[in-house]
Amino acid sequence: MVQTDALVTGVEQIAPFVRVTLAAPTVAAGLASGRFVLADLGGYLRTPLFPARIEAEGFDVLVPPGHPAAMLRPGYEVNIIGPLGRGFEVPTTARRLLLVADTAHLLVLLPLTRPRNQVFRKKPGFSSSVALLLSAPTAAELYPIRHLPPALEVHVVTADGSAGHQGSPLDLFPDLVRWADCVCIASDPTTYPALAETVREVRMLPPLAGGDRGGVQALVMPPLACGVGACQGCAVQVARGTKLACTDGPVFDLLELR
């Protein structure tokens, strides 16, 4: 964990998002899906930024056009603190990874969709696959599917039916969770109780070896003040009390969340 200035090396429109590329080798080395940095973007509290793509020399973030990071331009420097938090942990024994996201949170899971990030570190010939259940109110608000890796199996749900299945992600979730042996969720936490209920109903297998946060992991990100566990301000309710999103999370066992 360091506090450093990251150089903005690129800004690109990927409607309906803006992709910002930051050069920060010392931070990027420790980043992973679900881990984050706190960026000084001018507000009283720092803004959490999750990497959508991680390279050796830096990382990309994807933000909506109104986000403070969308105002950055190449050549700017942004003071960041990171890497912070505990990210998603895909057990080495997992074969079928299901990613569940609404369009606002998809960026958090994007590193898990890319083969070069070696989600599955397997022996040669090991067969594995990744599916994504992606939801948005309308097709216009969807992350462009063409930017996702071709090998990724994508299930789209829109509330108005303008793309993919019309309805709620809960319509497709039961079948997909039966198929998966590891699930990573980044969505509006108000949907989590219903997702957890489905996981309990389909009696998903107990946690796979290699992780202590269960087979179904979910991102919860309350507002953060310090980001290092000093202020005790980012408590998340879990089965036996509270945990801190900044140091214990922001990725938790879905079935542990309350």
Partner 1 sequence: MRRETVVDLAPNHKTGLTLANPVMPAAGCFGFGTEYARLVEVEALGAVVVGPVTAGPRRGAEPPRTLPLPPASGGTGERLPPASGGLGGVLLHTGLANPGVAAVVRRYGRAWGRFPVPVIVHVAGTSPNETASCCWRLASVEAVAGIELGLPDTADPDDVAAIIQAARAVASQPLIVRLPLARAEWLCEVAVEAGADALTVAAPPRGTVWHETRFFPESLVSVPTHFVTGRLYGPFVHPLALRALCRVAKLAPVPLIGCGGIYSVEDGLAFLRAGATAIQVGGALWHDPACLARIARSLPPAVEPW
C-alpha to C-alpha distance for 151 and 153, rounded to whole angstroms: 6
Which span sits near partner 1 by CB under 8 A: 1-9, 117-125, 149-157, 163-171?
1-9
Residue 46 vs 213, nearer CB to partner 1 = 46
Give how many residues touch partner 1 by CB under 8 A.
Answer: 48
| Contact pattern for partner 1 over residues 53 through 82, marking x by CB under 8 A | ----------xx-xxx--x-------x-x-
Binding to partner 1, residues 102-121 (CB under 8 A): 104-105, 108
Residue 173 vs 192, nearer CB to partner 1 = 192
Choose, by CB under 8 A, the member of 7, 23, 45, 148 that binds partner 1.
Answer: 45
Beta carbons of 215 and 236 less than 8 angstroms apart: no
**H or E element at residue 165:** strand 165-166
Residue 92 vs 168, nearer CB to partner 1 = 168
Least gap, CB of 177 to partner 1 (angstroms): 22
Least gap, CB of 8 to partner 1 (angstroms): 14
Choose, by CB under 8 A, the member of 119, 176, 236, 254 that binds partner 1.
Answer: 236
Binding to partner 1, residues 125-184 (CB under 8 A): none
CA dihedral (213, 219, 223, 227) positive or negative: positive
Which span sits near partner 1 by CB under 8 A: 45-53, 90-98, 128-136, 173-181?
45-53
Kindly tell me the burial class for residue 240, based on how many C-beta atoms sit within 10 Å of its own C-beta (0-12, 13-18, 19 or more).
Answer: exposed
Which span sits near partner 1 by CB under 8 A: 124-132, 144-152, 162-170, 225-233?
225-233
C-alpha to C-alpha distance for 135 and 101, rounded to whole angstroms: 7
Q: For residue 243, give the amino acid letter.
A: K
Least gap, CB of 97 to partner 1 (angstroms): 21
C-alpha to C-alpha distance for 184 and 165, rounded to whole angstroms: 21
C-alpha to C-alpha distance for 98 and 66, rounded to whole angstroms: 30
Choose, by CB under 8 A, the member of 34, 48, 214, 215 that binds partner 1.
Answer: 48
Interface with partner 1, residue 237, by CB under 8 A: yes
Give the three-state DSSP class for 221.
Answer: coil
Choose, by CB under 8 A, the member of 56, 124, 146, 190 that binds partner 1.
Answer: 190
- Per-residue H/E/C for 57-125: CEEEEEECCCCHHHHCCCCCEEEEEEEECECCCCCCCCCEEEEEEECCCHHHHHHHHCHHHCCCCCCCC
Kindly tell me the burial class for residue 80, based on how many C-beta atoms sit within 10 Å of its own C-beta (0-12, 13-18, 19 or more).
Answer: buried
- Footprint of partner 1 (CB under 8 A): 1-3, 40-48, 50, 63-64, 66-68, 71, 79, 81, 104-105, 108, 186, 188-190, 219, 221-237, 241-242
